[in-house]
Amino acid sequence: MSNYTYPKLHNAMWPGLVGKEEGTDHPPIDLDTMLDLTAAAEVNGVKFEGVDLFLFAPHVDIDASDDDLKQLAEKVQKRNLVIGSVVAPVWPPTGGGSAMGDESERKKFVTQVRKACRIAQKLRELGVRPYGVIRIDSAASPSDWAKDPAGNQKKIAETFREAATVAESFGERLAAEGEICWGGMHSWRRMVELLEMVDRPQTVGFQADMAHTLLYTMGYNAPEDALLPQDFNWSDKAVLEQALRQMTAALRPWTIDFHVAQNDATVFGSGSHDKTGRHCLPNDPNGKLDIPAVAGMWLRDENGQLTKRFQHICWDGCMFPNAVMTQPKTWNDILAAMVSVREAHGWN
């Protein structure tokens, strides 16, 4: 059994949707199956305690009725799980719009955030969501952003501030996910710049994902912000640690949501999802991250003290083949990695 009760250990449900397409050999995996796989995982008596959700059909319709949400809550509670953070479907293909787009697009973006806040609030009222935030990003590509960096960064900040006002009216917070495929958020330096421009630290923070933030150190879509040399030798652990510490020092004060993940320092895209950091299984021999050690850079401050800024952490591993995702061993291995993080950086 675990020595600690916090942070709570969650599994993400969106790997069943992201990069999946009907009519291919990797169709979407339904929510019930994802929940069952999560609930069945167990390592030395420890089990997952919750899930994070993508508010998009067929998992959770962004326009779900109160009755639909009640059924969802019952479905999750029946498996002895809770719901934590939820992802607002802010992208154009999911009904949203670019945060740096025209007035119509930005209105769609904020509308999707409002709908997500309404669902998040309802799930709290139903007693199934004791903590968590709402995830957003710019819903724009780095290439489009680069056509007018200053102007587009300003537009994204304005849209995020408008979304923050909506979130505050529901008692919710927004976490911007740092990922190289989102314009204005595609480098660690630009991510900090954007958060400072939004300037709503009580409401808008950062969601760190270990797989994606590793790509930040490489400067994949922003060579000017790379923290590792172009010909970096991955056996040089000291240089890697220095780069990771510089990045986490800049972004940790903004971090309000955290994803445990592994990455092999390459990018990958599937379906309609643009190329981003490739998620690997925790024990992948090509993985570049010492998971507990790197997680500690996010979970502890510069003095090594636990920040305790969020009550749960979530595993994120997208775009794995369905054959891998439906094996019980996959989720036991992932849960074991989560437990190792809590044993190193947990509290009661």
- Picking from 298, 291, 294, the residue whose alpha carbon sits closest to that of residue 258 is 298
What amino acid occupies position 286? N
Cβ atoms of residues 120 and 172 within 8 Å: yes
φ/ψ bin of 134: left (φ > 0), alpha (ψ from -120 to 50), beta (otherwise): beta
Query: DSSP assignment, residue 186?
Result: S
Cβ atoms of residues 78 and 51 within 8 Å: no
User: Model's pTM, two decimal places?
Assistant: 0.96
Strand partners, 313: 9
Q: Sketch the domain layout of the chain as residue ranges.
A: 8-345
Q: How many residues does the chain have?
A: 348
Q: Return the pLDDT at 279.
A: 82
What amino acid occupies position 7? P
Indicate the SS3 state at residue 102.
coil
Q: Return the pLDDT at 319.
A: 82
pLDDT (tens, 9 = 90+) of the chain, 348 residues, equals: 579 999 999 999 999 998 888 998 899 999 999 999 999 999 999 999 999 999 999 999 999 999 999 999 999 999 999 999 999 999 999 999 999 999 999 999 999 999 999 999 999 999 999 999 999 999 999 999 999 999 999 999 999 999 999 999 999 999 999 899 999 999 999 999 999 999 999 999 999 999 999 999 999 889 999 999 989 999 999 999 999 999 999 999 999 999 999 999 987 544 444 556 678 999 999 999 999 999 999 999 999 999 999 999 999 988 899 999 999 999 999 999 999 999 999 999
Antiparallel, parallel or unpaired: β 273-280 and 262-270: antiparallel
Query: DSSP assignment, residue 225?
Result: G
Query: DSSP assignment, residue 303?
Result: T
Query: DSSP assignment, residue 11?
Result: E
May I ask the CATH architecture of the domain 8-345?
A: Alpha-Beta Barrel (3.20)
